[in-house]
Amino acid sequence: MEIKKLNIIISLGFVAIIGILIAQLLWTKQAYNLEDKKFDQKVNIALMEVVEKLSDGKTSFTENPVQNIANDYYLVSINKEIHPTVLEYYLKTEFNRFQVNSDYVYALYNCHNDKMIYGKYISSNQKNSDNKTIKFPKHKNLVYYFSIRFPDKNTYLVSSLRFWYLLTFAIIIILFVYVYSIYTIIQQKKFSELQRDFINNMTHEFKTPLSSILLASESLSKQELILENPKLKTYTSIITNQSIKLNNHIEKILNIAKNDASGLSLKPQKIVLLPFIQNIVESVQQKNEKVKIETDIENGISIMADEFHFSNIIYNLLDNSIKYCETHPEILISAHKNAKGINLIFKDSGMGIPTKNIPHIFDKFYRINTKKSDEVNGFGLGLFYVKKIVQQHNWKISVENNTDPGITTTIFIPL
C-alpha cells in the first residue's frame, strides 16, 4: 500500500475515533444532567408527599412549599409545628418509595429559640451516622420549615452512571491502542522498506561483478591449457559452480524482495502431480547419486498451480531434506486425495528440528543455530519463499518431527 493512501486511512481512522470519543463525552454529560433532573424531580415529589402527610391532607400553600436552594439543598415549608421523629419517619418512607437512595441530612427550625435543631445524618444503608454534622442556615419570613441536604449527591449520580463512564474509559483505551498500533505499523513499514531497498541495492551490486566472474570462468574453462591440466580444470569448475550457486541465491533474494513489494504474479495451470514430481526427482537424483527418493502418488491427481513456483517449492523442500541429513538421505513423497483436498507430504530421514524452533522456520532470514546449519550455506530464505508461494496459492503448509529421525512437511491443497 502506498504511503499516501496509508496516511489517509490512518487520518480518517484517527478522526473517526476522536469524533466517537467527543460524542461519548457529550452523551455522558447529557446523561449526567438528565440523571440530575430526575433526582431533583423524585426529591421534590417525595418532599411534597411528606408535606401532604404532615398537613393531614390539608395544604394551604399558595406557592410550592419545596424550594431548591442549591444543587444539594432543599427547603420545605410546613403549616404547623411537628415532631422530629415523625418527620424522620415520613422522610424515610417517601424516599424509599420514590427510590431516593442517596444519603441525606435533615434539620428542623425551632421558632421558639430561633435555631435549626435536630440535624441528623441518614445513610442509605439504613445506618445512622452521627459523626457527620452539617450546618443549616436560617431563612427569613418562614416560621415552620425543615431543610434537607444531600452531601453525597454528586457521588450518587456518578455511581448511577458508571456504565457510561466505563464505556468512555474503554473508548479512551481503544484510542490509545489505535495510536500505538498505527505508530508500530508505520515503524515496521519504514523498516521493511529500508530492508527491501538495502537488499535490492546489495544484490544488484553483487550481480555485476558476479556476471564478470561467470563470463571469465566459462571462457577460462575452454582454454587448452586448462583442459590439459586436471587440477586447473577442477579449480575452474569450482569457481563456475560456486558462482552459479551464488547467483541463484541472489536471484532468490531479489524474487523475495519483489514479492514483498508488489506480490508475485502467479499463472495457475493444470498440473498432473505424478509425472511432474517424477521429473523433478530425476533431476535431483542426477546431481545427488546417494539420495534415495521414493514417490507414492495416486494416479490422476492434478492441481491448479503456477508451474515455475510450484517446482521451486518442491526443489526447496528436497534441497533442505538433502542438506540437513547426516547420513544418506531418504525421502518419501506421497499425495493422497480426500473429500476436502489433497495432502502433498514430504517425509525425510534428516536430523529433525527442535520443537521450539518449528514455529519460526518459515520466518525471513531465520536459521536454526546448530553445527549443521553453520556448515550449510544459505540466507534462511528457502522456507520463507515456500511459505509465501503456498499462501499466495491459498494452500496451507505444516511441519512436524517424525517419531524416527527426520521431519514431515505437509502441503494441504483444498479442492
Q: Are strands 330-337 and 292-297 parallel, antiparallel or unpaired?
A: parallel
Q: Which residue has the cell 436552594?
A: 69
Summarised one tens digit per residue, pLDDT across range 35-80 is: 888 888 888 888 888 888 887 766 666 677 888 888 788 888 887 7
pLDDT given for residue 224 in this prediction: 82
CA distance 85 to 106: 11
Summarised one tens digit per residue, pLDDT across range 322-340 is: 888 878 888 899 988 888 8
Lowest mean pLDDT among 13-22, 81-90, 112-121, 313-322: 112-121
pLDDT given for residue 412 in this prediction: 92
Summarised one tens digit per residue, pLDDT across range 242-282 is: 787 777 767 766 666 666 555 567 788 898 888 898 888 88
Residue 366 phi, psi (nearest 5): -85, 130
pLDDT given for residue 247 in this prediction: 76
pLDDT given for residue 354 in this prediction: 81
**Residue 27 pLDDT > 70:** yes
Calculate the alpha carbon distances from 238 to 22, 60, 231, 246 in Å.
Answer: 71, 118, 11, 12
- Range picked from 4-13, 24-33, 41-50, 64-73 for highest mean pLDDT: 41-50
Q: Which residue has the cell 524416527?
A: 404
CA distance 321 to 222: 35
**Residue 116 pLDDT > 80:** no
> What mean pLDDT do residues 337-344 have?
88
Within 10 angstroms of residue 199's Cβ, the number of other Cβ atoms is: 17
Return the H-helix or E-strand segment holding 297. Answer: strand 292-297
pLDDT given for residue 125 in this prediction: 62
pLDDT given for residue 255 in this prediction: 66
- Range picked from 37-41, 109-113, 184-188 for highest mean pLDDT: 37-41
- Considering only residues 290 and 251, tell me which one the structure prediction assigns the higher pLDDT: 290
∠ CA 38-41-43, nearest 5°, is 110
Question: Which pLDDT band holds residue 395 (cuts at 50, 70, 90)?
Answer: very high
Residue percentage of the chain with pLDDT more than 90: 2
The residue type at 164: W
Kindly report the pTM of this predicted structure: 0.47
DSSP SS3 for 264: coil
